[in-house]
Structures are given as C-alpha cells and as structure tokens.
Structure 1
Amino acid sequence: MVTAEYSAHHLQVLEGLEAVRKRPGMYIGSTDSRGLMHCVWEIIDNSVDEALGGHGSRIDILLHADGSVEVRDRARGIPVDVEPRTGLSGVEVVFTKLHAGGKFGGGSYGSSGGLHGVGASVVNALSERLDVEVDRGGKTWAMSFHRGEPGLFAGDAPDSPFTPFEKSSDLRVVGKVAKGVTGTRIRYWADRQIFTKDASFHLDELVQRARQTAFLVPGLEIVIADERGPERVETSYRFDGGISEFADFLAPDSGLTDTWRLTGSGTFTETVPVLQPTGAMVPTDVERECQVDIALRWGTGYETTSRSFANIISTPKGGTHQQGFEQGLMKVVRGQIDQNARKLKVGANEKIEKDDILAGLTCVLTVRLPEPQFEGQTKEILGTPAVRNIVANVVQRELTARFTSSKRDDKAQTALLLDKVVAEMKARISARTHKETQRRKNALESSSLPAKLADCRTNDVAQSELFIVEGDSALGTAKHARNSEYQALLPIRGKILNVQKASVSDMLSNAECAAIIQVIGAGSGRSFDLSAARYGKIILMSDADVDGAHIRTLLLTLFFRYMRPLIEEGHVYAAVPPLHRVIVVNPGSKPNDTVYTYSEQELHTLLAKLQKSGKRWQEPVQRYKGLGEMDADQLATTTMDRAGRTLRRVRVQDAEAAAHVFELLMGSDVAPRRDFIVSSSDRLNREAIDA
C-alpha cells in the first residue's frame, strides 16, 4: 500500500524533490508533451555523455505498451559504492539528491550535456515509479522509487503496493554478470498527477532527436523500439561522418559550395566556486578550453537552416556561440565584398546585411567545453560569455584562409558565394523599393492582373477567398456557384511546373506559377510579405481523383517553397468536394432527399444505414470524377458555400519534416523516390486508382 507520509530517513531528500513536484515547469519547461519528452532526454543524455567519454557505443530506447520508457546502455554503470558525505549509495544519490552527480569538475567528464546534477533526480521526482538496474563489479544491482522515495514494490505495475525504506535504503543484488560487463537500465512511468492528460511520447520527435545525436557522436548507435502499437517498430541510427554528414542531410537545396569544415579551439579563464573536501565552496580561477567544430555550406536556395549545440545539447535559441559565429561570418564576408566591390558592382550606399549572408546557408555549429553556463535547466541558450570571441576568432581565421586560398575549387566556390550574397542584397533592396506596388489594388487598378482571373468585389482582405480551380470546365460551373462579393476564381490549365526541381528563373517564367504569385500579390521567396496578400484564404479546388491530388501537391509545393508564410499562418486550404451523390427515395409525394458522401467508407456506412431503416435509393449512385460533373447548385452547396462546405486547412507543424517529404516526392533525386514507391507499394489500394 502507498503511504501518505514520507519517512523521516528521507525527509531532507524529499524536501528537495517535493519542490520539483510543486514547480515542475522550472525544471522541465512544461507539464505537457514537451515536458514529457524533456524527461526522456534527461535520462538518454546521461548515456550519451558516457558515450562521449568513450564508454559504450550503443543506447537502446524502448517505449513500452504500458506507457513506460526504458533506456539501456553498456557504459560504466552508475556507481554502487557508498558516497561518504551522505552515507547513501551512488545510485540513490543520483536519483534522490538535487545538484548531485559526476559532472561538477571532478574529472569524470571532460564535457557533458548534464551539468546541474538534477536531471535524473527530477525525472525520478516526476515519476509514479522508477526502476534502475546497474551492471557493475560482476553483479546486477537494483533499486526502485515511488515519486522520488526509495522502497520496494510488491509487483511489476506502477500502482503495485509500495513499502518505503524507513531506517536505511537497500541497493539489492538481483543477479550476476560476466566480469567486465557494465551498464545501466532505467525504466520509469511518468506521474499522471503531474503531467496533463493529453501528454504523450511523440515517436517522430524521439526519432528526429536520436538521429541528430547519432550525427553528433560519430560511431554511436541509437536504437528506438516502439512497442505501443499492434506491431513492434524498431529504428536504428549510426553515422560515422560527423557534422559534415549532418549538414548535407539538413540542406534543403542543391549545393553552391562544398561542405566546409571550420575547426579550432581557444582557452579562457573563469572564476568558479570549487567544492573542497571539507564541504566549503572556494572561488578558484580555472582555465577552460573550448573546442569549436562547424560544418557549413551554401546552396542555391534562400532558406537558412542552422543548428547549434553545446556539448551535443541542442541550443535552439542560440546563445554566445551563435552570436560569435554570426559575428565572425559577417566580418569576413563584408571584408571580402569591400575588397572586391568594383568587380562585384557594389555601390557605396549598398550595405550587406546579415540576412543576405545567411540566405541559402546550412550550418551545424558545435562547441565543447567543461561546465558551460546555460540559461535554465532546459538548456536552450548557451550563456558562457568567453565562447563568443573564441568562436568568432575560429570562424574568421578558417574562413579567411578559405577565401584567400590559391586552390582552384576554393577560388571558384568563394566567387560564386560572393556573387550570391550581392545578388541577395540587390534583391532585398529592389523588393523594398517596389513593396508598395505589391499592395492590394482596387477594382480600377486591377487591369494589370491576369485576364482569366474572375476577381471579387470586396476590399476586405480578411473576408476574401481565392479559389484556384483545375480547368476551364470547372471554372464555368464555379462562376455560377460562387458568391462574387468575396470569392475570386483563378483557373489553371492542368499540372503546373514542379518547382521543387526547377530553378527560380524557370519558376518565374512559367505562366501558371507567375499568374498565381501575381494574383496573390505578396511577392515570393525572401521578399514575400504576408501583409500584402490580396486574399485572406487561398483554396485549392481540384478533382477528387489521382490527377487532382497530383495537381494539389504541385500547388502546395509552390506555396511551400516560395510563399511558405501563407501555409505557416494557416491561409491555405484544400476544398473537399464530395465523391458520391445519393438520392434517397421518399414514399408518396414527399421530395427525395439528396445526401453527399466524401469517402468510400462513408458511402458504405450510409447505404448500410439506409438499408437497415428500410429506405431505398436511386441506382446507380452517382460517382463524381470531376468538378465539371456538378451543376452550379451542387458545387455551391457542397464545396463553395460557407454554410455547408468542408475545407481542409493545410498546416506545417514540422517544417523540417515537411521539407524532407517534399524533396522526396517532388525533388530531382530519383533513387530515393523509387525506393519509397517500391517499399510502399503493398499499401496501395488499386481500386482507388481512377484509370
């Protein structure tokens, strides 16, 4: 039975952990899915730190069907001997004492992600149950905890009867292992008293982070097994190419330069309190070394993809290392452009800005240093001040050497890079100059818009809707079905250009793409201005068949690549026209009812329901193969009238994952797409093909 009171033996320990339970957001950021995932990585990062130190080359992460998470490694194992100051075993100290661990400068870790000594103990405090097993010294040691308090469970479930230790804790020996075998296994059940009801472990996020860590620690294999579904799903990652391979993986476009590697180091002195054997904290000047490793490349696009890490811990909000990188980068590139201003045709009043240099850049920035200062336990921002100048100096030295290199490839690539930066600057200045001409025009000013556009009358952008319609036949019906006060129509002929493979110039010279950009009126690429868009909703209205889906995908690719803020802010929709029209026969003189269904399953469900209630329907059931088959009333009722239509909002919850999918399905690299088609062929429903 779970006791309501804590034992006196652990009163001091649990006072600290009770603070964690009262203010969990202070330690894990939030109590939703994000905080739940943070707990997982607090445990995994401990194993990664061991791998960084050369101990263990594999980490297993298991998502069990009962909602628990287990992390296994073959590192040195948590110490099991007694810690002299507390009289507790190393295992108990790690999991019950805040600010306790092996990462406070004692020599166990040169650089690590865990710094504050609170990760494992916080996860323990926020767990309904946590079990730990350690292989060390030829034995397997075990201990269990209930909401931070050590004791014994009478069963395997988290709600099994629990008996806390009263006088002294017991680190049990539960088995034997071969000599030299070491490792740690931690399994915990998150406490549902703490986390929100909808908090859950996201496999995609876990996989993405595991892949990222495998890139950052060459030679480390990370295996994720998800046992929550009907079948066990296992994913494994191991990369030996380091961050150069990571930068190539992240790059969303074809390369303008090779992937350059900038490496170096610097030292700095900081005053830190050092714990003495007597227990006193004495301020001491300590010399630190900061190692810098950067992989970067410029591509032909304008997107900037940047990842920064301190001791392999992701710092999504940047910090002093990111500031130093941008400082050094801007100084070198601006200096090179000033030296070549005449050749590059740069005027005296034309100034290079940071965004001009970062356009098309893919960068992975890593620094490693002992005891870095982070802002908060979530470690999203690096705060060590000295790192800024060290990173800036490394970037300036290495990049200057690249720009002044006598090698033919380096000369060619740096020349292309400078041309690109200057072109970005000129495009930015031009876009700003002509920004006012991109504003929404009134009816008298709209003569320059495409003749095939059937515009609406309202000047209220928020209320206006632009329907991009497939084909002239559907356009004719849509003109009669629309509300011309606020609904505009733009027809496109067939399938537009695949802009994922085409260059910017090819895209702009394509009549259909140019018409769409011109009608929306907010520009494209880096110059896109969402506030200048002429319509509040962009609705893609294509046939409910394979060709219609393909056209919709091509249009979404155009929006994703060149007008992404429209998708990110939820302005792009897909119309949902019905697939079937069922006329239900009513007895006597009562008019027949018309019911529309939007999928095969919905149709079968409707027919079964009608049959069960003894109702008849006209045969054959009409199957719409195109928008042109509907009359104006049907199209208005089902697809265009706000009162009865269904719209599917297009969202980009994970822009990076979406970019990879677009590149796979629509990019110029054929081999991965062919592999995807072959591997997914068994999921194809042949009856769904309209052939």
Structure 2
Amino acid sequence: MTPRKTAAPTASDYDARHLQVLEGLEAVRKRPGMYIGSTDSRGLMHCLWEIIDNSVDEALGGHATGVDITLHADGSVEVGDDGRGVPVDVEPRSGLTGVELVYTKLHAGGKFGGGSYTASGGLHGVGASVVNALSERLDVEVDRAGTTWAMSFRRGEPGVFDDGSGEPSPSNAFSPVTSGSALQKAGRAKKGVTGTRVRYWADSQIFLADAEFSYQQLVDRARQTSFLVPGLRLSVTDKRRLPGTPGEHATHTETFHHDGGIAEFAEYLAPDEAVTDTWRLQGSGSFTETVPVLGEDGQMVPTEVDRECEVDVALRWGTGYDTTTRSFVNIIATPKGGTHLTGFEQALLKVVRKQVEANSRKLKPGKDRIEKDDALAGMTAVVTVRLAEPQFEGQTKEILGTNAVRSIVARVVERELTEVLTSTARARKQQSALLLEKIVAEMKSRVSARMHKETQRRKNALETSSLPTKLVDCRSTDTEASELFIVEGDSALGTAKLARQSDFQALLPIRGKILNTQKASVADMLANEECAAIIQSIGAGSGRSFDLSAARYGKVIIMTDADVDGAHIRTLLLTLFFRYMRPLVEAGRVYAAVPPLHRIEVVNRGRANDYVYTYSETELHQQLARLRKNGRTLKDPLQRYKGLGEMDADQLAETTMDPAHRTLRRVTMADAQVGEQMFTLLMGSEVAPRKEFIISNAAALDTERIDA
C-alpha cells in the first residue's frame, strides 16, 4: 500500500510559542462539553456569560459603570465595558502581553489571589481562553493610557485578519503572527477613557447548526445582573432581525439600571401579594482555607489564607404557596444551589420552628413539626454571598462547593431573622404574627392532605368512602373519560341529574358564592365547606401537595347561571383553582360550560315547533334576521334564560351537557390570571382602585344589558 502524502508543514506550524498555545486550547476544542456543558444553544450562551462576567467583575471591583452587549446580524456578539481594560504590558514569566495571556492560556488571569479582584465571577481562569478556543474569530480592543490596542485570534491562534475596507469576518484571509507580539496599536483613545471590547464569531465546527443566542435569556440575565450590582448600567442591542424577537423589524435596545439591589429584585420576582415586607438579612464571617498560590518561580505552592464571606439575603412572604429562590455567588447564578443555599434553608427552618414553639399557645400547631416546605411556601428569596476564590463544582458554576460558607450563611440568617421575628416594632410584629399563622396553616394543610390520601383514588362498592355526601358520582372508573360538573344551586342539580349521562358525568352542587380565596387564609379555605367539598371530590389534594395524577376526573366543568351572579361564582371558583389547584389549570382540564342565553321558538304548521338556541346578543339578532328573512313565524315573547333551573332536562342536555352538541370553554393560565386580577380589583380590600375603575368605565356601560 502506498503511504498517503501530506502537505509539507510551514515554518509557522513549528513556531514553539504557537505550538504551546494550541496544545492547551486544543484540549478545549476536543472536549468542549467539559468546559461549557454542551455544544447546543446552552453552551453557546455559556460562552457569552463568560465574557459578560469578565466585564461585570470590573463593575464589582468598582472600576466599571456600564456594560454594552450587541448581537450582530452576521452571527457575532460584542461585549464592551468601561473598566480598566485588560493589561497590555508584558507578563515577565511567560513573556506574553496581558491580552495574549488572558485569551490563550488556560488558568491564567487576575483572580488567583493577586489582589486585583476580591470577589469575582471568573474564578477558574479559563473563561476567556475557552471562548477564544471555540471561536472562529475573536477580536479584542483595549483602551488604556490614551491608546487603543487591538488583537485578533482564529480558533485561539493570534494573528491578523485582512479585512481591507470591508466588514470584519472570520472568512477573511488570516496570517498567524510568528514573531513578536500580535497586540498592535489601533489608534488613540480619549483622555481618561479605559475599557475592553470583545467581539467573537462562534465556531460552526464546534457548535450545532441550530445553536443560537437567545435574546430573552440575555435580557433576563442583564436584568438580573442590574439588580445584583446596584448602579451598573447594562444595555442589550439586537441587530439580527430574527422573526419572533422584539428586534424583528428594527434594531432593538433595552437598558437596565437598578439602584435598589436584591431587595428590589425580590419584589420583581414575587408572584403574589405580600404578607410581609421585603426583609434584608446581612452579615459576614471569616474562615481559613489552604489553596495553591502561584509563586515567584512559577510553581503552585499550598498556602493558608484567610477568607471573608459577605452574606446578603432579601426575602419576603406572599399569599401564595409557590417558592421562588435565586442564589448567587459573586453575582454568578447557582441554579442548582450549593452550600450557601443549604445554610440558608437550614437556618430558616430552625428559626421558624423555634418561633412557632415559642408562640404555640396562640398558634396551636399540635404535635406535628414544621417541615421545610411549610416554611418556604409563598417565600421569595434572593441569597447572595461574596468571597474570593469560591470553589464550584465544574466550570459551569451551577453549584457552590465551599463548605465553610454553609455555616457562615446559617449564622447570619439565624441571627438576623430571629431579630426580625422577635422585633417589638408594631409593623414587624404584625407581619411576623401573620407569617407564623401562614406557616402553621401550611403545615395543617399538608397534614390534612396526608390524612385524605385514601380519597385520592376511586372507591369501589366494597370500600368505605369519605367523599362529600352531596357529590353525585359517575359509574365509570376511567379518569380520562369522566367529567365533574360543578353546578350552581340545588335547583339546577335536580335538572342536571336528569340531563346527565351517569356513566361518565358526575355532579357537585355548591350553594351560593363560595369563599373569596384571594383574601382568605389557607386555614379558612380548608375550613370552608364548599371549598373542602370541591377539593375532596377532585381528590388530588391542594396547594403544594396537589398531585395531578391523582385527580379523579379528566375534566372539571364549571356550570353556572348565565347572569352576573353566575359569572361572579365562576370567577370565585377559578380563583380557587388558580391558587390551590394550579396544575389542573395548566394541564387544560378546567372548563366553563356555555349555557344558552335565549330560546327562539319557530312556529310550524301541522307539526311540532322548532327551537333555536343562541349564546350571545349578537348571535340572537343574527338568527332573528335570518329567520324573518326566510319568512318564518316566531312565537313571542323570546325566552331569556337567567338560570339553569329554567331549562328542562332535555334542553339542558342538548345545549350544555351532551358532548355531541355542547360548547365548552377551556380555561387557560392567562384566563385565570386576568380573572384573578379583575376579581382583586372589583372585590378586593383596596377601595381606591375600584372607585377609579368604576368612574372611568361608567360611560362605556350599556344600560340595556342590565337585567331589571
């Protein structure tokens, strides 16, 4: 076999300096997932976070006030800041300029105990160099001491692109720099102006073809960072004109700037009405650890160093039961938590248990203990710590591993939260009492759900059942095919019993208007007979313990009268589902029946009259016009249904309950949220907004639509 010939190597291929550079970065290109997690859009965004975090670190150190991020139409992304600028002088041990060192050497940077950064997000010294290695082209511009310096790289190798007078592109001719420095003077900078600008094109050889920068993720990250670094301005500009984005038709820019810090962040994240104010828990602690430090001889020497850990927590409780927690280390999000979040939750549970025990005579918690989920229900918290060189589990920095941080956070939270909950100030004392009552109610709700576990599956004739006595159940055991009609009033129940198909349609009557769960506590909701009957009939629990798979019916249909009171009851029921059985709404299993508003009787000579049902005023007028045009005789007066009880069983079945003829409206999360907001406005405790709403909309009211 004839050996295959290879191209003769050029001199630049054997340049020692470049062989060393590529030897280190080639490992990144061979195993990119080890450094950025994946090569899809998630990994692409992680590269961008690495560059943005370098700029934010300058702001954390008090050296930068603004970061500008631009998504260009050619697929590149640019990040600029007004910080000190990457050092451009020569580092004596490597003989490389600071720019080349940072962007070509793994584990190189100013965050390894050199005193340049006391707390930073970039900690492994591989972020910028990894992005460089995975970029088809990367350009750096640095403003320092009145000069603008520039340097370019192709897949990690320094050199010069021949852009001519055209736009910069990775496809332009590239010449590696084989001697001297690739860092060149590109012009003069204004006096006093410093900063760094990085623009790069992700390498299509590395990333998947469908990987793209997410504008929404970028905006969310910029907004989050603006909360975490008060006073920092971040702007995001999208020039890509991608369909479905805010910049679809023109260049779009959003700017974020917040001075309120994490307290303002917690308020922004909170999904519900407040039970407490946003409390700020702050403190610090110190610890000692042994870390390898780069010595003068270039060797890593184990050295014992003292560390300071600053803790800053903002938290508040709301009327809901969902928990929203965000944790950060030096403004880097840790979505999977770590030692700081563990310490926070341990201390929080300890303090709450102690306070409930101290107020047991008033709260009456019984023999059951408060669990973590009880204390966290309805809580929104932002937990941040700052320390030098934290230890993360992996380059993606999703979990903090520094063990000493757990005890420091726990001590700070325990001390500060105890002070808040035992405060004698009137406002805090009232809020603390409400909070403890809410937590105990959550515990009782969890215990109640556990006790009702047996009602979460269907009962057969041989089993005892604790289902509500007024529930008229169906015979089918097929959950998917079964339906539960929640009927307004006993009068409608009698007709519905005759109209239903008993094989798969169950009925539950409710009397009048149920409890306003928007304002009531969990304990009040559970004590309410109508709410308890609905929860018990559905059989999947409520609140945090709700289990969608245990629901006894495939559809829950609200069937109320076609009048103002019926609409009010429907809104009250939707509020109950939205607050305490939200997964049922999210799964699209909650419906509203659509009973007719009018019945038109068409006279037929010699045979029975025909009936036409209409469901709106518009449809009524259209039908009347059509029938009269066709010369049909109509019997007066037209019947206007004001209640389900006015229909006989055949009419109710044909118009509202029979799957072959009825119309159902599926309730979505958007419907429930809008309904809850309107209900809060019209029936809540705040009078001023309601008065303003009534006055401003009075002129638009059609008085003919009011039943008199």
Category of TM-score, reference length = shorter chain: 0.7 to 0.9
Residue segments in structure 2 that go unaligned for 5+ positions in a row: 1-7, 242-247, 561-565, 595-629, 631-650, 694-708
User: Shift of residue 197 of structure 1?
Assistant: 2.7
Question: What is the rounded CA distance, in whole Å, between the counterparts of 1:378 and 1:135 in structure 2?
Answer: 30
Instruction: Out of 490-499 and 135-144, give the one that drifted further.
Output: 490-499
1:240 matched residue in structure 2? 259
Q: 1:99 to 1:537 in 2, by over 3 A?
A: farther
Match of 1:310 among 312, 329, 344: 329
Q: How does 1:48-127 map to 2 (within 5 A)?
A: 48-127=56-135
User: Shift of residue 103 of structure 1?
Assistant: 0.8
Match of 1:21 among 10, 16, 29: 29
1:401 matched residue in structure 2? 419
Question: What is the rounded CA distance, in whole Å, between the counterparts of 1:16 and 1:93 in structure 2?
Answer: 12
1:531 matched residue in structure 2? 549
Cα pair 2:226 2:233 within 8 Å, conserved:
yes
Match of 1:428 among 446, 451, 460: 446
Give SS of 1:62's match: strand
Question: What is the rounded CA distance, in whole Å, between the counterparts of 1:91 and 1:556 in structure 2?
Answer: 60
Q: 1:637 to 1:20 in 2, by over 3 A?
A: farther
Question: What is the rounded CA distance, in whole Å, between the counterparts of 2:38 and 2:453 in structure 1?
Answer: 41
Q: Deviations over 1:218-276 (max 9, x none)?
A: 10111111223221222111111111111222222222222221111111000011110
1:300 matched residue in structure 2? 319
1:177 matched residue in structure 2? 189
Q: How does 1:330-349 map to 2 (within 5 A)?
A: 330-347=349-366, 349=367
1:8 matched residue in structure 2? 14
Cα pair 1:77 1:135 within 8 Å, conserved:
yes
User: Shift of residue 565 of structure 1?
Assistant: 3.4
Match of 2:228 among 216, 224, 245: 216
2:381 matched residue in structure 1? 363
Give SS of 2:199's match: strand
Cα pair 1:498 1:666 within 8 Å, conserved:
no
User: Shift of residue 514 of structure 1?
Assistant: 6.8
Question: What is the rounded CA distance, in whole Å, between the counterparts of 1:556 and 1:156 in structure 2?
Answer: 57
2:218 matched residue in structure 1? 206
Q: Deviations over 1:503-529 (max 9, x none)?
A: 658877999977764543212212312
TM-score by length of 2: 0.74
Match of 1:264 among 271, 279, 283: 283
Give SS of 1:247's match: helix
Question: What is the rounded CA distance, in whole Å, between the counterparts of 2:219 and 2:527 in structure 1?
Answer: 40
Cα pair 2:455 2:467 within 8 Å, conserved:
no
Cα pair 1:450 1:519 within 8 Å, conserved:
no
Q: 1:636 to 1:424 in 2, by over 3 A?
A: closer
Q: 1:382 to 1:551 in 2, by over 3 A?
A: farther
Match of 2:172 among 161, 171, 174: 161
Give SS of 1:100's match: coil
Question: What is the rounded CA distance, in whole Å, between the counterparts of 1:232 and 1:667 in structure 2?
Answer: 38
Cα pair 1:536 1:571 within 8 Å, conserved:
no
Q: 1:360 to 1:649 in 2, by over 3 A?
A: closer
**Structure 1 position 197 matched with structure 2 position 216:** no
Q: Deviations over 1:360-380 (max 9, x none)?
A: 222111110000001111111
Amino acid at match of 1:334: R
2:581 matched residue in structure 1? 563
Give SS of 1:565's match: helix
**Structure 1 position 140 matched with structure 2 position 148:** yes
Q: 1:85 to 1:226 in 2, by over 3 A?
A: same
Cα pair 2:170 2:201 within 8 Å, conserved:
no
Question: What is the rounded CA distance, in whole Å, between the counterparts of 2:572 and 2:202 in structure 1?
Answer: 43
Give SS of 1:7's match: helix
Q: Deviations over 1:596-640 (max 9, x none)?
A: xxxxxxxxxxxxxxxxxxxxxxx9xxxxxxxx999899x968999
Question: What is the rounded CA distance, in whole Å, between the counterparts of 1:470 and 1:129 in structure 2?
Answer: 68
Amino acid at match of 2:14: A
Cα pair 1:126 1:148 within 8 Å, conserved:
yes
User: Shift of residue 562 of structure 1?
Assistant: 2.0
Question: What is the rounded CA distance, in whole Å, between the counterparts of 2:152 and 2:545 in structure 1?
Answer: 58
User: Shift of residue 441 of structure 1?
Assistant: 3.8
Amino acid at match of 1:66: D
2:645 matched residue in structure 1? none
Question: What is the rounded CA distance, in whole Å, between the counterparts of 1:324 and 1:118 in structure 2?
Answer: 29
Cα pair 1:443 1:457 within 8 Å, conserved:
no
| Identity within the alignment, % | 68
Cα pair 2:441 2:523 within 8 Å, conserved:
no
Instruction: Out of 378-387 and 559-568, give the one that drifted further.
Output: 559-568
Question: What is the rounded CA distance, in whole Å, between the counterparts of 1:58 and 1:639 in structure 2?
Answer: 59
Amino acid at match of 1:255: A
Match of 1:384 among 402, 407, 412: 402
Question: What is the rounded CA distance, in whole Å, between the counterparts of 1:60 and 1:431 in structure 2?
Answer: 51
Name which one, 1 or 2, has greater alpha-carbon Rg: 2
Q: How does 1:625-640 map to 2 (within 5 A)?
A: none
Give SS of 2:223's match: helix
Question: What is the rounded CA distance, in whole Å, between the counterparts of 1:540 and 1:234 in structure 2?
Answer: 45
Q: 1:282 to 1:499 in 2, by over 3 A?
A: same
User: Shift of residue 153 of structure 1?
Assistant: 4.2
Q: 1:115 to 1:505 in 2, by over 3 A?
A: same
Amino acid at match of 1:264: G
Q: 1:629 to 1:527 in 2, by over 3 A?
A: closer
TM-score by length of 1: 0.75
Amino acid at match of 1:120: A
User: Shift of residue 285 of structure 1?
Assistant: 0.7
Amino acid at match of 1:321: H
Paired residues, number = 610
Question: What is the rounded CA distance, in whole Å, between the counterparts of 2:9 and 2:574 in structure 1?
Answer: 57
**Structure 1 position 281 matched with structure 2 position 300:** yes
Give SS of 2:284's match: strand
Cα pair 2:293 2:303 within 8 Å, conserved:
yes
Cα pair 2:571 2:676 within 8 Å, conserved:
no
Question: What is the rounded CA distance, in whole Å, between the counterparts of 1:665 and 1:99 in structure 2?
Answer: 56
Task: Give the alignment's Cα RMSD to 1 decimal.
Answer: 4.6
**Structure 1 position 131 matched with structure 2 position 149:** no
Question: What is the rounded CA distance, in whole Å, between the counterparts of 2:43 and 2:521 in structure 1?
Answer: 42
User: Shift of residue 553 of structure 1?
Assistant: 9.8
Q: 1:141 to 1:331 in 2, by over 3 A?
A: same
Cα pair 2:445 2:523 within 8 Å, conserved:
no
Cα pair 1:144 1:153 within 8 Å, conserved:
no
Q: 1:202 to 1:562 in 2, by over 3 A?
A: farther
Cα pair 2:525 2:531 within 8 Å, conserved:
yes
Cα pair 1:572 1:650 within 8 Å, conserved:
no
Give SS of 1:249's match: helix
